[in-house]
Amino acid sequence: MPAALHPYLNFAGNSREVFEFYGRALGAIPQFSTFGESGAVPADDPSADQIMHGSLEVTDLIRLYVSDVVEGMSPGGLVAGNNVTLSLMGDDETLLRSAFERLSEGGTIAMPLEKQMWGDVYGSFTDRFGIIWQVNISDPTVSGA
C-alpha cells in the first residue's frame, strides 16, 4: 500500500459504540481488537474489553481508525484536542521514516519508530504545533499489507 493519511479517533471507553454508529451511517462494518485480545493487558484488567484498535473501511479512500484511551495511555488523559490524531501508514519505509523525522522536528516524540508486537514499525509524536501524529510502516513482504 502506498503511504496514506488516515484520521485516528480516540474516545473515553465508547469507541465500539461510536464506530458501530459510524458503520451503520456510512454502510461499513467496523473491525475491532481489544486490549485484552491483544495481550496488552491481562484478561481481568478493567480495560481488557476496551478497544485497542478499530478500523472502518468505507471506501478505498475513506478509512477511519479508533481507540479507547485507557489510564496511563495519554499524558493528561483524553481532552478535546488529543482525541484526533493523523496517522501516516503504508509500506514505503523511506518516505515514512523521513516524514517521521521531519514532522517531529521541534516536537515531542512519545514513541520512537520501533518494531511492535503486531509486526509493524510504529512511532508517535506531537509536532511543534500541537498535532499528534502516528506513523505505521507495514512490511511489504507480508500478505495483505
The reported pTM is 0.65
Closest CA to 71 of 53, 54, 49, 46: 46
pLDDT of 64 = 87
pLDDT of 41 = 87
Let me know: does 93 contact 137? Beta carbons within 8 Å.
yes
pLDDT of 81 = 66
Report, as ranges of residue numbers, the positions in the chain whose pLDDT lies below 70: 1, 72-77, 80-82, 142-145
pLDDT of 132 = 87
Q: CA–CA separation, 108 vs 65, rounded Å?
A: 22
* Structural domains of the chain, ranges and CATH numbers in brackets: 4-137 (3.10.180.10)
